[in-house]
Amino acid sequence: MAEDRQTQPAANAAPAAGRMKVDLAGQVAIVTGASQGIGRAIAETLAANGATVALVARSAGKLADVAAAIRAAGGAAEAFPCDVSQATDVQAVVEAIHGKLGRVDILVNNAGVTRDTLLPRMSDEEWDDVITTNLRGPFLFMRAASRPMMQQRYGRIVNVASVSGLIGNPGQANYSASKAGLVGLTRTVAKELAGRKITVNAVAPGFVASDMTAALGPVLLDEVKKRVPAKRLGEAWEVAEAVLFLVAPSAGYVTAQVLTIDGGLIG
C-alpha cells in the first residue's frame, strides 16, 4: 500500500503553522531512501529541527539536490550514496558518517522497493529484490549504527514499514512479507537495545499521495479514498511528523511500537 519511494506533490506541502518542534541540535541522523518521497520529507523535517542529516540512497545526483535544498533552507546535510542491500557498503558508509560527522544519534530506515504481481506469477528475482532491499537493508543499517549508539548510550531508530505488513495486500506477497518481517525485527531489536537507552520503533503508512497513487487514475483513487475513513490520502509530511515524534529525546519510554498512519484504514 505505502510505497517508500514516493514523490510528494508540491501542492501538498506541509502547512507552515502547527508543525511539531523538537530540539535535535547537535544530533546526527541517517535517513535511507532520502532522495525522494517520504524519505526526503523525513530528512527535511529532521534538518528543520536542528539535526545534521546524512542522506543515503543509490542516486548521487538526487541526493545532491536534496542536500542543496536542505542547506538553502538553513539546515545541514551531507550526501552518502550507498546500496543499502550490500553489507560492505553499509558498514563503510556508517563508518564514513561517524568519522565525518562525529556521532550517530538517529537512524531512519526508509529505503524500499516494490515489485508487485500475484504470487503464481512472481519470479525469484522479484521476491529476492524486495526482501533484500526492504528487510536486509534495515538489518544491515541497524547492525552498523547500533554500535556507535551503544557506545554513546543513546539512540533513536525508526523503521518505515507499511499497513501491507500488518494486514497483507493482494499482489504484494513480497512487499507485505518484507514489511511484516521489518515489524518483527523492530520489536526484537528494541528489546535488545532498550538497556542502552536506544529506542527502536516503526511507522506503518497506508495510502500516501505520490506519483504511484496518482498513476491509479481518478476512478481507482476515488475507490481508495472511500476505503479510508478519513476520505483522503495521507501526505509524506504527515509520516515525517510521526517520525519526528519517535526520534525526539522526550520519547525515550516509547519503544518496540508500530505507529500506524493510515487515516483509520485498518482500525
Return d(Cα 165, Cα 183) in angstroms, integer.
Answer: 8
DSSP per residue over 156-189, as a string? EEEEE--THHHH--TTBHHHHHHHHHHHHHHHHH
As a whole number of Å, the CA-based R_g of the chain is 17
Q: What is the pLDDT of residue 71?
A: 98
Taking alpha carbons only, the member of 33, 4, 6 closest to residue 211 is 6
Segments of the chain scoring below 50 in pLDDT: 2-11
Which residues, 6+ apart, have CB-to-CB distance to 161 below 8 Å?
179, 182, 183, 186, 202, 203, 204, 258
Q: Catalogue the E-assigned strands of 17-147.
A: 28-32, 52-57, 76-81, 106-109
Catalytic-labelled residue, pool 80, 141, 154, 175? 175
Taking alpha carbons only, the member of 177, 208, 198 closest to residue 252 is 198
Measured between its terminal Cα atoms, the distance across the chain in Å is 15
Residue 253 bears catalytic tag: no
Predicted model pTM: 0.93
Domain regions of the chain by residue span: 24-209+236-261
Return d(Cα 148, Cα 169) in angstroms, integer.
Answer: 37
- Say which CATH topology domain 24-209+236-261 has: Rossmann fold (3.40.50)
The three grid cell numbers given for residue 97, joined into one nine-digit string: 558518517
